[in-house]
Chains A and B, each alone.
Chain A
Amino acid sequence: MSDFFPKQFFLFDPLSLFFLFVIFIISLPSAVYSLGYLKGGYSSAKITLAWFLLLIFVLSMAFVVTVSNVLVFLVFWEIMSLISYFLVVFDTKHEKSIQAGMIYIIMTHIGTAFLIAAFMMLYKHAGSFDFNAIKSACQIMPGQTKNIIFLLLLAGFGTKAGIVPLHIWLPYAHPQAPSHISSIMSGVMIKTAIYGIIRFVIYILGVQSSWWGILLLVLAGITCLVGIIYALMVRDIKRLLAYSSVENIGIILLGVGLAMFFQSMNMPYLAILSMIAGLYHLINHAIFKGLLFLCAGSVYKATGTRDIEKLGGLIKKMPQTAVYFLIGAMGISALPPLNGFVSEWLTLQAFFLGALNIIGGAKVFLVICAAILALTSGLAAACFVKAFGITFLALPRSNYAKDAKEVPLSMKAGMFFLSLLVIVFGLAAVKIIKILALVSSSVTGFDISSMSFSFNNFTLSPQADKHIYLSTPLLALLLIVLGVAGFVIYRLFGRGKTIIYNTWDCGYYKIGPRNEYTATAFSKPFRIAFSFFLLPYRKTQKIRESFYHVKSFAYETYTTPVFKRYIYEPLLALIFKTAKSMRKIQLGSIHLYLGYIFITLVLLIVFIRQF
C-alpha cells in the first residue's frame, strides 16, 4: 500500500491501520443505515448531498489518521471539521441545528488554533513538516518547549475529543446531526483527536515527564464524572448519548494517560497494558456508541421525537431495535461478557498492577483513579437502565410512541452488524489484545516479544505469575448453561400456570401511562446526591380552587449548566464588552477613517527624521 501513495505523505504503521479499521468499521454500517434513514425525510437532491458529504467526511478522517506530514494533517483536519459542520447543520429546518453548528464550528476552530500554535513550534525546532523529521528533532528538544507544546496539543485535541471543560459543543452538535452522522461523529471523529494525542504526544514528542500522564489522568477522571452525571440528567436521548461519549472519552484517556505515566516511569509492561486498555476501550466505544446512536436514530425516525419522557413501550412496537439497543446498553454498562466489560476490566487491572508495582506516592493516586472509574461505571449502568427502560419498556407515554413502527431493513442491517461486533469483541478478547499489543508497541517503542497478555486463546492474563484470569467465552458459556439450568429447574419444579393480568395498581383502577415512572424521577436521587455540582433549580406552582383542593400542580426543574454559565458566558461577555468598546473609534464617518490613515502617514513622515 505504501508504494501506491507517495511515501513522503503517508504513514501506514500499526496505529494508523488500527484507526483506519475503526473508521471503516463504523462508517460502513452507518452508511448502510443511512439508506433507510434519509429516505422519506429529505428531497432526493438533499440525499445526494448527504451521501457526498458523508463520503468526503469519511475520506478526510481516513487521511487524517494516515498522513505523515504536519501541514497535510492540518489541512485534512480542517476539511474534516468543516464537512462535519455542514453535516451538523444539515437539518436546516430546525433553528437549533444552526445554533449547534455555530457553537461547534467556533469550538473546533479554537482547538485548531491551539494545534496550529503547537505545530508551528514543532516546525521551528525541526525545520520540516514530516513526522519522522520532527520525531528525531524532538529527542533533542529542551524540556520547557516540550511542556508548552504538550499543553497546546492537549488543548487543541482536547477540544475535538471533548475533554472537560472543552466538551461544551458535544451535547449541542451530536444530537442535531442526522443519526448516522452522529454515530460516525461520536464513534470515530472524536477518536481522531485521541489519535492525535497518541501520535503527537507519545510517538513524536516522547513522554519524559511524569506530570504529563498525571495531568491527563486528572482531566480524564473529571471528564468521566462530569460526562456521566450530566448524561443522567438529560431527557433528549441523543444528548444523553453525547454526554455519555464525553464520559467514555474520559475512560479512554484514563488508559492513555496511564500509558504516558508508565512510559515516563520506564515501566514497559504496564505502559503497553494501559495502552492496550485505552485502545480497546476506544474501539469498543466506537462500536457500541455507533450502535446506540443508530438505534436512537431509529427511534427518532419511527416516533418523531427524541424526548424519552414521551416514549415508552417501544419494545413491543420495534422489537428488533429494542434488542440492538439493549445489546449496546449492555456493552456500554460494562456487563459481562460483552466488550465494554473487557476494556473496563483491563483498565482497572492496569490501575491495580500499576499501584502494585510503582514506587512512591502515585500508588494512592492510581487507586483513587480506579475508584473514580468504578463510580462512573456504576453511574453509566444507571444511566442506560434509564435510557433503555423509559424509552422501550412499559406503556407508551404519548401518541408519538403509540404510532411507532419498526424501521426498514437497511437500518436494521447496520444496527445488527454493530451489535454482532459488540458480542464478538467481547468474546474474542484475546485475539484483539494481541493486535492491540502490536499497535501499542509501535507507538511507545517498547518491545513486546517477551510480553504475554493471555493464558490461552480464550483467557486473558495481564500478569502471568499473579494468576489473574479473565475468560469471556467461559463466562458466556457459564451464563448460558446456568441460565438454561435455571429454566430447567423452573420447568421441573412446581406446577401452576401463568396468568396475564394488569399491573398491581393498589386498588386504584385508573392506572395508565401517567402512573409510570418518568426519566426525571428516575434520576432524582442522582440529582440530589450531586446537587453540589449540578445546582438544580426547582419551581412548583399550585393552582387552588379552594384552600383544601389543589386543582393543578406545576413542577419545573432543571439543572444549572455549570460550564456554560460560569466559564463560557463570562468569557463571551468579556469579548462582547471589548468589541463594544472598540466601537467607539468607529463613528461611521469616512472622513474620520481616512483621517486615521492620514495622521498615521504624516506621523511616519515626521518620525522618519529620527532614522
Chain B
Amino acid sequence: MFKIIIIILQLILFIIISPVLSGLISKIKNNIRMRKGQGILQPYYNLAKLSSKGEVVSETASWIFRITPFVVFASMLVSALLIPVFILRSPLNHAGDFLALIFIFSLGRFFLALSALDTGSSFGGMGSSREMFISSLAEPAFCMAVFAVSLQFGSTDISAFSGAHTIAVSSIVAGVTLFLVTIAETSRIPVDNQETHLELTMVHEAMLLEYSGRSLALIEMAAYIKQMILFFLIAQIVFPITLPVYGNLPQIFFWILWYLGRIIIIAIAVALVEVSVAKMRLFRVADFLGLAFVLGVIASVCAILGV
C-alpha cells in the first residue's frame, strides 16, 4: 500500500515539476545573456497551449507516428519510477536496475526515430540519423558511468548509491561523465540546440518537427522527465544525500533545501555550459562523447582501485 502511494507521488512529482527545471535553465541562460527572456513557468504555458490546439498529421505517416508519443511517454515514466526519489529505495526496485535504464531510454528513442522517418520529410530523416548516431556513441559512455558507480558501491541497483555517506573520487568522475552524457541525451549545446529550428542545428527538434498539438505536448513532457531523471541521477552520484533524522524539523527543512538545491546546482552547471560554448559540428560530437567515454573508463578504474 505504501508502495503504491510512493509510486503515485513520484509520478506526480515528475510530471508536475519537470517543466520547471527546463524553465529554470532557460531563465538562467537568458539572465547570463542579459535578456529578460521567458519566465520560469513558461513551459507550463507552452504545454497548455499545445494541448488546446488541434493536430495535423502527415498523410504519409502510419500508426507508428500515432503511437510514438505514448510509447515515449510511457518509457520515460517507467524510467522515472526506477529512480529513488522520496526514499532510499526506488519503489519499483524489482522492475529493473541501472543497466536496464539505458535500454529503456533506447526504447523511446527507437520509436521517436522511426516516427521521424515515417513522415517522409528530409528533416525527420536527418534528425533520426543524427539522433541514433549521437545516442549510439553516448551509450558506451553511459555504460561506463553506470559501471563506475556500480563498481564503487557493489551493485547495479540504482538504490545502491543512494545511501552513501562519503563522496568518492570515482563518483565525481562518473558524475562528470554522466553530465556530459546528459548534455547529449537532453539535446543541449554543444551537442544540439533546443531553441532553434534550423536544419543545421537540429537533432531532437528535427525529429519532432511533424508533431503538433497534444502529441507534441506528450513528447515534450517526456523530454522534460528524461532531463529530470538524469539530473536526479547526477545529483545523487555527485552530492550523495542520506535521509534526515525523523522529527528534527530544522534539519528536515535544510535537508529539503539541499535536496532541491543540488539539482538546481546541476541546472546552473548545464546552463553555464550551454552559454559558454558553441554548438559543435556533428562529427566533432563523436570526439566529445569519446572524451566522456574516457572519463568513464577513468571513473571505473578509480572505482576498481577503491578510491
Contacts and interface: CB of A to CB of B under 8 A. Distances in A.
Q: Do chains A and B touch in the complex (CB under 8 A)?
A: yes
Interface of A: 312-313, 315-316, 326, 330, 333-336, 341, 344-345, 348-349, 352, 355-356, 363-364, 367-368, 370-375, 377-379, 381-382, 385-386, 388-390, 393-395, 455, 459, 463, 466-471, 474-475, 478-480, 482-487, 489-490, 493-505, 511, 513, 515-518, 521-526, 528-529
A344 B159 CA distance: 22
A498 B102 CA distance: 34
A498 B96 contact: no
Contact of B100 (A336, A378, A389, A390): A336
Given A335-B103, A363-B304, A475-B78, A498 B136 contact: no
Contacts of B188: none
Contact of B95 (A372, A379, A475, A493): A475
A397 to B, nearest CB: 10
Contact of A375 (B100, B140, B283, B300): B140
A467 B64 contact: no
Contacts, number: 288
Contacts of B52: 494-496
Interface in B199-232: 209-210, 213-215, 217-218
Given A364-B300, A487-B70, A497 B140 contact: no
A450 to B, nearest CB: 20
Contact of A529 (B109, B122, B133): B133
B210 A517 contact: no
29 contacts: A313-B60, A316-B62, A334-B106, A336-B103, A336-B104, A345-B99, A345-B103, A349-B99, A364-B304, A367-B300, A378-B136, A378-B138, A381-B110, A386-B132, A389-B113, A393-B114, A466-B154, A467-B93, A475-B78, A475-B95, A478-B77, A483-B70, A483-B73, A496-B52, A504-B209, A516-B122, A521-B126, A525-B133, A529-B133
Contacts of A497: 54-55
Contacts of B106: 333-335, 377-378, 381
A495 B67 CA distance: 18
Contact of B129 (A313, A349, A489, A521): A521
Contacts of B117: 385, 389-390, 393-394, 517
B70 A486 contact: yes
B157 A468 contact: yes
A315 B117 CA distance: 12
Given A371-B140, A475-B78, A525-B282, A503 B103 contact: no
Given A367-B144, A479-B78, A388 B94 contact: no
Nearest to B147: A367
B124 interface: yes
Nearest to B138: A378
A489 B74 CA distance: 12
B69 A374 contact: no
A326 to B, nearest CB: 8
Nearest to B209: A504
Nearest to B109: A381
B274 interface: no
Nearest to A518: B125
B70 A490 contact: yes
B303 to A, nearest CB: 9
Interface in B44-97: 50-64, 67, 69-71, 73-75, 77-78, 81, 92-97
Nearest to A335: B107
Contact of A395 (B78, B120, B144, B159): B120
Contacts of B136: 375, 378-379, 381-382
Contacts of A312: 120
A393 B118 contact: yes
A315 B114 contact: no
A305 B92 CA distance: 47
Given A371-B143, A378-B136, A498-B55, A333 B71 contact: no
A64 B110 CA distance: 39
A521 B106 CA distance: 22
B186 interface: no
Q: Which of A494, A496, A521 has the most CB of B within 10 A?
A: A494
A388 B114 contact: yes
Nearest to A390: B117
B130 interface: yes
A86 B214 CA distance: 56
B57 A498 contact: yes
5 closest A-B pairs by CB: A517-B125, A378-B136, A496-B54, A494-B51, A389-B117
B157 A459 contact: no
A486 B69 contact: yes
B96 A475 contact: yes
B77 A370 contact: no
